[in-house]
Chain A
Amino acid sequence: MAERRLALDPLHQVQHRSREIPLKLELRGITKRFGDLVANDHIDITVEPGEVHALLGENGAGKSTLMNQLYGLLQPDEGQIVVNDEPKVFRSPRDAIASGIGMVHQHFMLVPVFTVAENIALGAENVRGGPLGWLDRRRARREVIETSKRFGLPVDPDALIEDLPVGAQQRVEIVKALTRDVDLLILDEPTAVLTPQETDELLAVMRSLTEMGKSIVFITHKLKEVKKIADRITVIRRGQVVGTASPDTSEDELAALMVGRAVSLEVDKTPAEPGRAVLQVKGLIVDDDRGIRAVDGVDLEVRAGEVLGIAGVQGNGQTELVEAVMGLREVRAGTVELDSENLAGLSTKRILRSGVGYVPEDRSHDGVVKEFSVAENLILDMYDSTPFGNAIRLDTSRIASNAKERVAQFDIRCQSADTAVGTLSGGNQQKVVIAREMSRPLKLFIASQPTRGVDVGSIEFIHGQIVHERDQGTAVLVVSSELDEVVNLADRIAVMYRGRILAIVSPDTPREAIGLLMAGVTSEPAAVAPVEEDAPVEEAAAEEEAGGAGEEGTK
């Protein structure tokens, strides 16, 4: 291959292999160790041309590690990567790209201060002026817009990555992979932060790619998706392949295969016994970063001992609502009260200290400090208070014993509590955040997407913990774009649409009715069962808005 050129020529175009032969991939006996930890233990997997091969496994099972070796980011300690019967050594992603492999990473590989178009162009730039390498920015923009339209994944080419919410960043990553012509595409949990609609679009894209003879390795924790799209399923547990399954295996069986025990996908809980109103939001109005109204007059009440779930398509103001409550975003109008104390103008730290637990939506940005150890991350918001320390010193032995306890309780898979959180698998990072926020006495617990990227076994556990928290009399507010999660957990469901609460319904309401509400349709009040007589059912001018809604973000 003309790939090996001058060592000091980082500028020439990466060679994209454009061959008509589809790609067959074999991983033979791949083994990867990090110190004592065997992340991959003699893994054999074959991916046939034109198939969607799903990888299932618990958090920390070693899926991302395996894929990073296939993409040249990590080097296997043992084993072979064989492409079309030819053994390959991928010293860097450059080599993998040259063999026709593309990857969407679980932790985004986007330059925060670059625009979307710059990120997508990077490494495969369109240039004019020969050796000058003058960027053709107009063409780059156009290609982004075209790809984004063709695959139904809206992205704004001129937005800066650091200003985008995770869902949009995920779309950028996918579009970036799709603009490169690859034969094998690795998708590492691409759907964790996508809305259901976007997920459907992505599944359709995957199908059309396989029809073109391309193969896909697909990692997800959502068994429904696996059943919908996969041709073959390989299950990994603690670094080893523990079995393969066909897509018509039931969800329960798949879950059991992954976790090694039976998993209950339903949450079992007793009826709530709501007490006093802990959080009271009245007439709340909040703008998003661009000054556009995101929360438009929300009234809300979360009572002690109940779980209020907020359902809604992502981007309807849920994020801003929670941020406003947490003091992370300016309240334009209205009041937020915690036990009748006005929270407006208080710092986030004060709000946390007054007994609020908060799991933010974007864990890698707002939830953990990647360079810090697991133990340190577990006390991040309590470092200067008893029992972990005071303004001057930290009590390291307390911190260590606390870490030991939490790691065991929440089943955080890590080498030790002293490893940096950044090296943990995605799901385990999420568990660190949950464990920290739940390990102090709370009045109010707010969780945005609490089980994002978490495996089914851990979802069961986290849901159990949330219900336990509720039973102790904590008021719980759960925001999730997974309707299943909201329905399973909540005692009351508030459906949010375009910055308003359209209705508050009981979790027994038929899914279709909630789905319609989430789409802004309130014309069938009969189908919606209000929880109580006095629960507000707002039919807020949804009719007129439903018509003109949408399409905004699609340019």
Chain B
Amino acid sequence: MSTTTVQELTAVTAPEPFWTRQRRLGVALTLLGVLAAAVFGALAPGETARFTLSDNAEGAAISINGQLGAVLFGLLTLAAGGVLLAGLAKRWSTLLLGLGVLTFVLSFLCWQVAGQFMPLVDILSGTVQLALPLILGALAGVLGERSGVVNVAIEGQFLMGAFAGALVGTMAGSVWAGLISAAVGGVIIAAILAVLSIRYLVDQTVVGIVLNLFALGITGFLYERLMQPDAEHYNAPPQMPTWKVPGLSDIPVLGPVLFNATGLLWLALALVLIIHFGLNRTRWGLRTRAVGEHPTAADTVGIRVRGLRYLNVLLGGIVAGLGGAYFTLVATGSFTKNMTAGAGFIALAALIFGRYSPFGAFAAALFFGFAQKLAFYLSAINSPVPSQFLSMLPYLATIVAVAGLVGRVRAPAADGIPYVKG
């Protein structure tokens, strides 16, 4: 026995190419760094850029010469790209990528803010608010897709949630009743999606698109017939209260953003953690991932593939419905036709850009939220940069992600494929 080798040898893979994910990212960051240092630096006026810690021009601020800042941060981006390109520090590649993007954004901001001021608290809380429905929508997507059901109907779930929340919230005079009905609204769309795609094997993308149109149509119709004529009784929901956590809300910058907020924000943050640990550490998660990757294998160990898919799609409906509640119970005081305006698709983009993981989706949602907020800010200060550029960002980022430029985005292997026995 001592003379036999039972060496484990691994399956066929081609030799690792020179252009690894790190290197490609390195090239991208290096180019961005050059752009930032040279172009932003050249365009930036030599005036002071003030980043105030409050939500107005007053008070303490971080100040820097605009031109100096643009060049400096651009060089930092360049450095991060260089390290990645050189193939150094492989373990820290994600961190370096984050730093690179952050310094690039800072360089851009130095250019834009030079001679003006940017209220950090306002920008951050705006980012978080705009990201909130995206987080919930993307999480709903994570739940469905990790178990193998493609959910293109997030937009429809948002709309139904927003509508049901406004309607029931107004009629019951309770924001909590509104919140629950928003979840129910999301679940209704989710249930149709689940039955058609899991039971009747209809193409999931097609079902999703049709459901979006359905939700748009029915909420639009009811809005015109019911809400518009008598807004007071049907479309004036109470708003979610803002809670201020004593002590914590006094933390500079982050305090007012995170601890002077609605319960919905905390719920969303909690869900990110719950779904992350749920997927990775619990029996439910293990089985969900198995069903999304290899349903036959899951079936052969006694897991009810379709049952689990139903469960997850419906859970996703709850989460997306709550995301819809944001629009009517938090952001604005009433429902309007097509008020989500594509947010569901941006949530879908966040899901893909975030590589189907809760943390990834969360980060992507924040990033897209920031881009939107920045677009508002730039048009407010009459920036020469068209704000449409920033509105395009989520879609651009998704194309980049799907094209594999930042490494492979691997969808669950059985995503979108109905499970048929035999």
Query: A241 CB to closest chain B CB, in angstroms?
Result: 22
B11 touches A549 (CB 8 A): no
B9 touches A319 (CB 8 A): yes
A328 touches B300 (CB 8 A): no
Query: A481 CB to closest chain B CB, in angstroms?
Result: 12
Whether, in the assembled complex, B422 has its beta carbon less than 8 Å from a beta carbon of chain A, the answer is: yes
B8 touches A164 (CB 8 A): yes
Interface flags for A505-521 (1: CB within 8 Å of B; 0: not) read 00000000000000111
Residues 431-447 of A at the B interface (beta carbon under 8 Å): none
- Contact partner, A11, options B7, B281, B284, B289, Cβ 8 Å: B284
Interface residue tally on B, bucketed by range: 35 or more
A73 touches B421 (CB 8 A): yes
A66 to B241, CA, bound (A): 63
B299 touches A92 (CB 8 A): yes
B302 touches A549 (CB 8 A): no
A132 to B413, CA, bound (A): 26
- Contact partner, A122, options B2, B4, B298, Cβ 8 Å: B298
Contacts of B300 in A (CB 8 A): 71, 73, 93, 103, 105, 109
Q: Determine the residue in chain B with the shortest Cβ distance to A319.
A: B9
A114 touches B293 (CB 8 A): yes
B9 touches A109 (CB 8 A): no
Q: Determine the residue in chain B with the shortest Cβ distance to A140.
A: B286
B301 touches A550 (CB 8 A): no
Number of interface residues of A (CB under 8 A): 79
Whether, in the assembled complex, B226 has its beta carbon less than 8 Å from a beta carbon of chain A, the answer is: no
Whether, in the assembled complex, B409 has its beta carbon less than 8 Å from a beta carbon of chain A, the answer is: no
A10 touches B307 (CB 8 A): yes
Interface flags for B270-309 (1: CB within 8 Å of A; 0: not) read 0000000000011110110110011011111111100110
- Contact partner, B301, options A123, A294, A323, A520, Cβ 8 Å: A123
Whether, in the assembled complex, A360 has its beta carbon less than 8 Å from a beta carbon of chain B, the answer is: yes
Contacts of A197 in B (CB 8 A): 4, 6
Whether, in the assembled complex, A365 has its beta carbon less than 8 Å from a beta carbon of chain B, the answer is: yes
Q: Determine the residue in chain B with the shortest Cβ distance to A360.
A: B12
A112 touches B282 (CB 8 A): no
Whether, in the assembled complex, A111 has its beta carbon less than 8 Å from a beta carbon of chain B, the answer is: yes
Interface flags for A101-117 (1: CB within 8 Å of B; 0: not) read 00101000111111000
B286 touches A498 (CB 8 A): no
Whether, in the assembled complex, A329 has its beta carbon less than 8 Å from a beta carbon of chain B, the answer is: yes
Q: Determine the residue in chain B with the shortest Cβ distance to A15.
A: B302
Q: DSSP majority for the B interface?
A: loop
Contacts of A109 in B (CB 8 A): 294, 296-297, 300-301
Query: A22 CB to closest chain B CB, in angstroms?
Result: 22
A328 touches B307 (CB 8 A): no
- Contact partner, B310, options A8, A94, A159, Cβ 8 Å: A8
A110 to B294, CA, bound (A): 8
Whether, in the assembled complex, B311 has its beta carbon less than 8 Å from a beta carbon of chain A, the answer is: yes
B3 touches A552 (CB 8 A): no
A10 to B284, CA, bound (A): 9
Contacts of A119 in B (CB 8 A): 297
A294 to B7, CA, bound (A): 9
Whether, in the assembled complex, B95 has its beta carbon less than 8 Å from a beta carbon of chain A, the answer is: no
A123 to B284, CA, bound (A): 10
B287 touches A320 (CB 8 A): no
B283 touches A553 (CB 8 A): no
Whether, in the assembled complex, A554 has its beta carbon less than 8 Å from a beta carbon of chain B, the answer is: yes
B4 touches A97 (CB 8 A): no
A98 to B304, CA, bound (A): 13
A92 to B6, CA, bound (A): 36
B298 touches A123 (CB 8 A): yes
Contacts of B287 in A (CB 8 A): 10-11, 122-123
Interface flags for A287-330 (1: CB within 8 Å of B; 0: not) read 01110101000000000000000000101110110010000111
- Contact partner, B5, options A73, A315, A320, Cβ 8 Å: A315
A135 touches B283 (CB 8 A): yes
B283 touches A133 (CB 8 A): yes
Task: Report the tally of A-B residue pairs with Cβ distances under 8 A.
Answer: 184
Q: Determine the residue in chain A with the shortest Cβ distance to B301.
A: A123
- Contact partner, A549, options B4, B283, B303, B310, Cβ 8 Å: B4
Contacts of A360 in B (CB 8 A): 12
A490 to B146, CA, bound (A): 50
Query: A479 CB to closest chain B CB, in angstroms?
Result: 13
Query: A498 CB to closest chain B CB, in angstroms?
Result: 6
Contacts of A114 in B (CB 8 A): 289-290, 293
Residues 483-518 of A at the B interface (beta carbon under 8 Å): 497-498
B310 touches A552 (CB 8 A): no
B7 touches A519 (CB 8 A): no
Interface flags for B1-21 (1: CB within 8 Å of A; 0: not) read 111111111111111100000
A253 to B48, CA, bound (A): 95
Whether, in the assembled complex, A41 has its beta carbon less than 8 Å from a beta carbon of chain B, the answer is: no
A159 touches B1 (CB 8 A): no
Contacts of A319 in B (CB 8 A): 9
Whether, in the assembled complex, A427 has its beta carbon less than 8 Å from a beta carbon of chain B, the answer is: no
Known: A114-B289, A360-B12. A553 touches B302 (CB 8 A): no
Contacts of A553 in B (CB 8 A): 5-8
Q: Determine the residue in chain B with the shortest Cβ distance to A11.
A: B284
Whether, in the assembled complex, A87 has its beta carbon less than 8 Å from a beta carbon of chain B, the answer is: no
Q: Determine the residue in chain B with the shortest Cβ distance to A288.
A: B9
A165 touches B290 (CB 8 A): no
B2 touches A550 (CB 8 A): yes
Q: Determine the residue in chain B with the shortest Cβ distance to A168.
A: B8
A247 to B311, CA, bound (A): 50
Contacts of B308 in A (CB 8 A): 10-11
B307 touches A8 (CB 8 A): yes
B15 touches A329 (CB 8 A): yes
- Contact partner, A94, options B13, B297, B302, Cβ 8 Å: B302
Whether, in the assembled complex, A541 has its beta carbon less than 8 Å from a beta carbon of chain B, the answer is: no
Residues 447-499 of A at the B interface (beta carbon under 8 Å): 497-498
Contacts of A75 in B (CB 8 A): 422
A11 touches B290 (CB 8 A): no
Interface flags for B214-238 (1: CB within 8 Å of A; 0: not) read 0000000000000000000000000
New A-B pairs, 19, CB < 8 Å, besides A98-B302, A111-B289, A316-B7: A10-B287, A10-B303, A92-B304, A93-B300, A94-B302, A97-B301, A111-B298, A114-B293, A122-B298, A123-B287, A134-B281, A164-B8, A166-B11, A168-B8, A313-B5, A316-B5, A366-B12, A521-B3, A553-B5
Q: List 11 A-B contacts (CB under 8 A).
A: A111-B294, A113-B293, A113-B413, A125-B283, A135-B282, A162-B11, A289-B13, A329-B12, A330-B15, A520-B3, A553-B6
Q: Footprint of B on A, CB under 8 Å?
A: 7-11, 14, 68, 71, 73-75, 92-94, 97-98, 103, 105, 109-114, 118-119, 121-125, 127, 132-135, 154, 156, 159, 162-166, 168, 195, 197, 288-290, 292, 294, 313, 315-317, 319-320, 323, 328-330, 360, 362, 365-366, 497-498, 519-521, 546-547, 549-554
Closest 4 CB pairs of A and B: A123-B301, A330-B15, A133-B283, A553-B6
